[in-house]
Amino acid sequence: MLGRLLVVFSLLLGATGAAGAIVTDLSNNRIEIRYSFDGAELILFGSTGSTKVDIRAEDYDVVIVVRGPETPTVVRRKGRVAGIWVNRDNLRFPAAPGYYAVAATRPLEEIASPIAFASYGIGFANLPLVADSGSGLMAPDPDFREALFRLRSSEGLYRQELDTVRIVRQGLFRTDVHLPANVPVGEFIVETFIFQGGSVKARDRITLSVDKEGFERAVYDYAHNHPFFYGITAVIVALSAGWLAGVLGKK
């Protein structure tokens, strides 16, 4: 807690002092997935410092993008075949972010023009997603791209226009980062953009890592690195649990 206060304090100092550019930090930049993991709520603090932004002269906006690890992802579409609904078409995205969240002080369209967001790749519509057609890379079918966004949004993995960045006082802002229980493990990138007059005046980039820890990590690694012995272990556990249940059940 003391450390967190120091962070806030130093950020406040940064806001008034003559330190470098924009500074951001997370309340926790290493998320550990353990047995009781049910998602995580993080706080991101940031300070505009003494950048080109003149916070006194003009209002400024903050846009924060949190991007999870990119993994090969497949989106499938069901179709009717011989009277039943089966997965018929699919589209493979070689690299789609497992988590993607955009938070801003105001609705994006009020902050800057779509072209400005496109040039920085901010917003789901501006993610440079490509599809693997088997013979080469191509622009994905918009239906599949939309489905990816819709499905991951419903799982809480893609969040856009949902979270707001609050300006605490002139140079200091904060937002909440929501990671759901099914968050993918890996390195996350947190990028903060300061907009003023419709263009980016400053940006900062920090990382966040999400990983399974302790027992959870050990079990996962064991299952994936020694699958045969994991299987044997599972059988031994089942046999002894079953035997124990039989002994206890008789009483």
Partner 1 sequence: MPLYLPIAELSMNIFLVIGMGAVVGFLSGMFGVGGGFLMTPLLIFAGVPPAVAVATESNEITAASVSGALAHWRRQGVDVKMGAVLIVGGAVGSFFGAQVFTYLRSLGQVDLMISLAYVVFLGSVGGLMFWESARAIIRQRRGYVPPPIPREDRHKAWIHALPFKMRFRKSRLYISALLPLSIGMLVGVLAAIMGVGGGFVMVPAMIYILGMPTNVVVGTSLFQIIFVTSLTTIFHSVNTQTVDIFLAVLLLFGAVIGAQVGARMGLKLKAEQLRALLALMVLAVCVKMGLGLAIEPDELYSVADVADLGGH
* Span 24-43, contacts to partner 1 by CB under 8 A: 33-39
Distances (CA, A) of 122 to 104, 118, 127, 190, 222: 11, 6, 7, 12, 38
Taking the C-alpha atoms of residue 223 and residue 207, their distance in angstroms, rounded to an integer, is 28
The answer to whether 249 contacts partner 1 (rule: CB under 8 A) is yes
Strands laid side by side in the 23-26 sheet: 23-26, 40-47, 172-179, 166-169
Q: Which of residues 102-131 bind partner 1 (CB under 8 A)?
A: none
Report residue 184 as tokens: 């993918």
Q: Where are the alpha helices (DSSP H) in 17-124?
A: 108-111, 114-120
Stretch in the footprint of partner 1 (CB under 8 A) among 23-31, 52-60, 104-112, 140-148: 140-148
Closest CA to 167 of 57, 61, 65, 51: 61
141-170: which residues touch partner 1 (CB under 8 A)? 144, 147-148, 150-152
3-state secondary structure of 131: strand
Q: How far apart are CB 54 and partner 1 at their closest, in Å? A: 44
Q: Assess 137 for contact with partner 1 (CB under 8 A).
A: no
224 touches partner 1 (CB under 8 A): yes
Given candidates 52, 54, 87, 138, which one binds partner 1 under the rule CB under 8 A? Answer: 87
Of the candidates 119, 182, 199, 209, which one interacts with partner 1 according to CB under 8 A? 182
Tell me the three state secondary structure of residue 52: coil
Q: What are the residues binding partner 1 (CB under 8 A)?
A: 33-39, 71-80, 83-87, 90, 92, 98, 144, 147-148, 150-152, 181-182, 184, 212, 215-217, 219-220, 223-224, 227-228, 230-235, 237-239, 241-243, 245-249
